[in-house]
Amino acid sequence: MSDTLFKKILVANRGEIAVRIINACRLLKIPTLAIYSTADADAVHVRMADEAIEIGPPPPLESYLALDKIIAAAKSFHCDAIHPGYGFLAENPLFPERCEEAGITFIGPSAKAMRLMGNKVEARIKMSGAGVPVIPGMKGAGADLRTFEEAAHEAGYPVLIKAAAGGGGKGMRVVHEPEELQASVEAAMREAKNAFGDDTVYLEKYLENPRHIEFQVMADNHGNTIHLFERECSIQRRHQKIIEESPSMALTPALRAQMGQAAVRAAETAGYRNAGTVEFLVDKNGGFYFLEMNTRIQVEHPVTEMTTGSDLVVEQIRIAAGEKMSEYLFRASQRGHAIECRVYAEDAENNFFPSSGNILYYEEPVGPGIRVDSGVTGGTKVGVEYDPILAKLIVHAPTRDLAIAKMIAALGDYHILGIKTSRKFMMDVLAHPEFKAGRTYTDFIPTHMQDREVDVIPAVETAAAAAALAMMKSAKPNMTAIKATTPSPWQTIGAWEIGMRITK
Amino acid sequence: MIQQLLYQDTTLDASVEPNGNGAEVSIGDRKYIVKPLSSGKYTVELNGVRHTVCCMVRDGKVFADVEGMLLELTIPSEDGDMAGGDAGMVGEKDKIYAPMPGKIVKLLVKEGDDIAEKQPLVIVEAMKMENQVNSAANGKVKKINFQNGDQVNTDTPIIELEIAEE
């Protein structure tokens, strides 16, 4: 390759996804510019990129969400493309618009497709019109209580009130009885107004115990739109996915083909380009319904990469540069089984309270079919300013049973000291008989893990036994020295107790 | 050789018998066979079942990762005091810091107030969670450096106390 696809790419993100994008750019021999807030001056993505620029203080609004600063940085460093990653500005239609004005390629869909899919009500109408099944309910936003009552009656209780601008469970209410409808609509409107500045809500049938199954789509500027099969993401905690896998246990070849076609139709109808994900809910009878389309690379994209043998970020860059997507994608099939676990900095044994501090020791699991996408390493300071995702652990094996076993072993071999992570919790989920049986529904965590109790004493004794030997030998240092850092806030706060309640 | 370790309120007495480059460690009536695996890693065998433990000793504490479970144990120092103490007890008791950078939602005391151990002093919001910070000792509020609504980081004390003599 004499000429690269782009002269330089600005990576408008942080953490593991910034590292992932930089690695893809390296394969394509494209230089990268990292951006960072002062909290991330020493972060892995900053060290890895060819160049890096500080763009502001830790609050996201002043750094990773500061569109003007990011565009200015791209110009002054002569970047001709920007990759947004996920989160932050990735799904803000102003981002591609501002890039276009500045003559910079945005690696993602058009502002128009983003806007359409960003509005849940409009997307629903458009998809329904194109023959993509949607959950029975209102065709548009509810004007008055009467329209809600009629729609609820038609769909049948229980029903779900949702915010048009919504996401993350905010402005969402399940209504079981007609008497609760008015109060729930009003509450959902208030919540939506607070969370999104828009009180538009609508109503649809509430599916009990659905599975969350999404299809990866890719579309280029040469008239090709394809799908790369499904990912099942039913294991969620507070509407956040924590474990994803492919293939899904719930899909027959016929249903898979049908849903794949619907996903392609959804992307085509939206005039979609680049990588995207069409999310569906699947009910117990194999009925599937369009939920939403995510107009970005997903956190869980490695699951698809492992099963189809693809590199989606490389393809994103090729497509954005105007190339046709790679030939191999047209022949892609699902091979074996892949599972991803998101490693969050949180204390699963203490109500998932966020954990911060310095990583004192860091060692990733290695072996055939084991992949770690990480934004941290030994010595990394983990703050509380950003999403607590540290890394993703992905395994690939010939069968689901082997993938589960490999994941449990790999989580045990993933050593992170200094901050708490949710690894043990995920091991318990994976080892649960219901998970092993493939009975994964979106209520899995509240149903099966709520009463989880961990008997720590055997582990404490095991740790004490190892420590006793370590201390006996401690005359000679037994660990790679990591430079002394300031104590974590948890160590210096004085005695305190958690009186946790979520503020509105 | 007996090595004492603390985990929360539990004291563990580990009796260590060196054996080659490893050791047999007895805790209660259980005998663990411990062998070094690689730098910082050990295998610990009990009744034929072997576990891998990653552990490091630092600042009077043991940080251990037992197959995904992260544990912190304390090594009592020779004069009987805790070398490190519990995570929440390490700081100077007369200075109250925010648990993490955040916003002061509510100060629950004012300067000059007498306070008792474990009395709630301030509520700090971080990551949309409210955290109540309690006193670690009996005493009096000497100085308050912030007001409700202020942003705080973790290096300036929110409240300074005068600790009562025991």
One domain for residues B114 and B69? no
By CB atoms closer than 10 A (0-12, 13-18, 19+), residue B154 is: buried
Residue A150 CA, chain-centre distance (Å), reads 36
Residue among A391, A13, A11, A387 at smallest CA distance from A168 = A387
- Best mutation target among B11, B31, B35, B66 (most A Cβ atoms within 10 Å) is B66
- B-contacting residues of A 464-493, CB under 8 Å? 464-474, 478-480, 487, 489-493
Asked whether A427 and A404 are in contact (CB, 8 A), the reply is no
A360 and B56 within 8 Å at the Cβ level: the answer is yes
- Identity of the residue in B16, B91, B105 whose CB atom sits nearest the CB atom of A472: B16
Q: Which of A265, A273, A296, A371 is labelled catalytic?
A: A296
Q: What is the CATH number of the domain that holds B121?
A: 2.40.50.100
pLDDT tier at B155 (50, 70, 90 boundaries)?
Answer: confident
Residue among A85, A333, A339, A313 at smallest CA distance from A228 = A333
C-alpha to C-alpha distance for A201 and A34, rounded to whole angstroms: 38
Q: What pLDDT score does B83 carry?
A: 38
b/e burial code for range A25-61 (CB count within 10 A of at least 16 → b): beebebbbbbbbbebbeebbbbebbeebbbbbebebe
One domain for residues B98 and B158? yes
C-alpha to C-alpha distance for A63 and A37, rounded to whole angstroms: 6
C-alpha to C-alpha distance for A175 and A153, rounded to whole angstroms: 12
Q: Where are the alpha helices (DSSP H) in A11-52?
A: 15-27, 44-48
The answer as to whether B61 is a domain residue is yes
Asked whether B101 and A59 are in contact (CB, 8 A), the reply is no
The answer as to whether B68 is a domain residue is yes
One domain for residues B45 and B103? no
Partners of B32 on chain A (C-beta within 8 Å) are: 461-462, 465
The answer as to whether B122 is a domain residue is yes
One domain for residues B31 and B70? yes
Q: Name residue B15's beta-bridge partners.
A: B2, B26
The mean-pLDDT minimum among A151-160, A492-501, B49-58, B81-90 falls in: B81-90
- Shortest CA distance from A483: residue in chain B: B58
Q: Which two tokens stand for residue A86?
A: 């996920």
Q: For residue A340, what are the contacts with CB-CB under 8 A and spacing of at least 6?
A: A243, A244, A245, A300, A302, A303, A392, A393, A394
Instruction: Give kind and range of the element (H or E) at residue A253.
Output: helix A253-269
Strand bridging mode A225-237 / A211-219: antiparallel
C-alpha to C-alpha distance for A488 and A304, rounded to whole angstroms: 37
Interface check B93 vs A, CB under 8 A: yes
The answer as to whether B81 is a domain residue is no
pLDDT tier at A209 (50, 70, 90 boundaries)?
Answer: confident
End-to-end CA distance of chain B: 35
Final residue in a domain of this structure, among B74, B107, B129: B74
Look up tokens 């990576």; give the residue.
Answer: A11
One domain for residues B115 and B154? yes
A400 assigned to active site: no
For the segment A130-143, what is each residue's pLDDT rounded down to a tens digit?
Answer: 999 999 888 777 77
For the segment A264-273, what is each residue's pLDDT rounded down to a tens digit?
Answer: 999 999 999 9
Q: Which two tokens stand for residue B156?
A: 């300036």
pTM of the model: 0.80
Final residue in a domain of this structure, among B74, B99, B119: B74
For the segment A168-203, what is each residue's pLDDT rounded down to a tens digit?
Answer: 667 788 999 999 999 999 988 888 888 778 888 989
More confident residue, A355 or A341: A341
C-alpha to C-alpha distance for B153 and B150, rounded to whole angstroms: 10
Q: Name residue A279's beta-bridge partners.
A: A214, A292
B14 and A467 within 8 Å at the Cβ level: the answer is yes
The answer as to whether B80 is a domain residue is no
C-alpha to C-alpha distance for A76 and A56, rounded to whole angstroms: 16
What domain range is B70 assigned to?
2-74
Per-position DSSP letters for B89-145, written without gaps between them = G-S-TTEE--SSSEEEEEE---TT-EE-TT-EEEEEEETTEEEEEE-SSSEEEEEE-
The answer as to whether B100 is a domain residue is yes
Q: What pLDDT score does A348 carry?
A: 85
One domain for residues B113 and B55? no
B66 and A354 within 8 Å at the Cβ level: the answer is no
Q: What pLDDT score does A164 carry?
A: 81
For the segment B16-75, what is each residue's pLDDT rounded down to a tens digit?
Answer: 999 999 999 999 999 999 999 988 899 999 999 999 999 988 888 999 999 888 899 999
One domain for residues B65 and B102? no
One domain for residues B114 and B150? yes
Q: Hey, what domains does chain A have and what are their CATH numbers?
A: 9-107 (3.40.50.20), 136-205 (3.30.1490.20), 208-297+305-335 (3.30.470.20), 337-504 (3.30.470.20)
Q: At what angle do helices A111-118 and A120-129 cross, to 10 degrees?
A: 100
- B-contacting residues of A 344-403, CB under 8 Å? 353-354, 356, 360-361, 363, 383-385
For the segment A284-333, what is each residue's pLDDT rounded down to a tens digit?
Answer: 888 999 999 999 999 999 999 999 999 999 999 999 999 999 999 999 99
Ramachandran angles phi, psi of A2, nearest 5°: -85, -35
pLDDT, averaged across chain A: 90
One domain for residues B61 and B100? no
Instruction: Give kind and range of the element (H or E) at residue A397.
Output: strand A389-397
Residue among A450, A454, A467 at smallest CA distance from A420 = A454
B136 and A494 within 8 Å at the Cβ level: the answer is yes
Partners of B46 on chain A (C-beta within 8 Å) are: 462
Mean pLDDT calculated for residue range B135-150? 88
- A-contacting residues of B 111-130, CB under 8 Å? 117-118, 120, 123, 125-130
The answer as to whether B86 is a domain residue is no
For the segment A225-264, what is each residue's pLDDT rounded down to a tens digit?
Answer: 999 999 999 999 888 899 999 999 999 999 999 999 999 9
The answer as to whether B118 is a domain residue is yes
By CB atoms closer than 10 A (0-12, 13-18, 19+), residue B165 is: exposed
* Three-state SS at A255: helix
Count how many Cα atoms sit within 13 Å of the Cα of residue A76 in the half-sphere of its side chain: 12
Q: What ipTM does the predicted assembly reach?
A: 0.72
Cα torsion A132, A169, A282, A140 to 10°: value is -30
More confident residue, A207 or B165: A207
Q: Which two tokens stand for residue A200?
A: 């538009």
Q: How many structural domains compose chain B?
A: 2
One domain for residues B22 and B48? yes
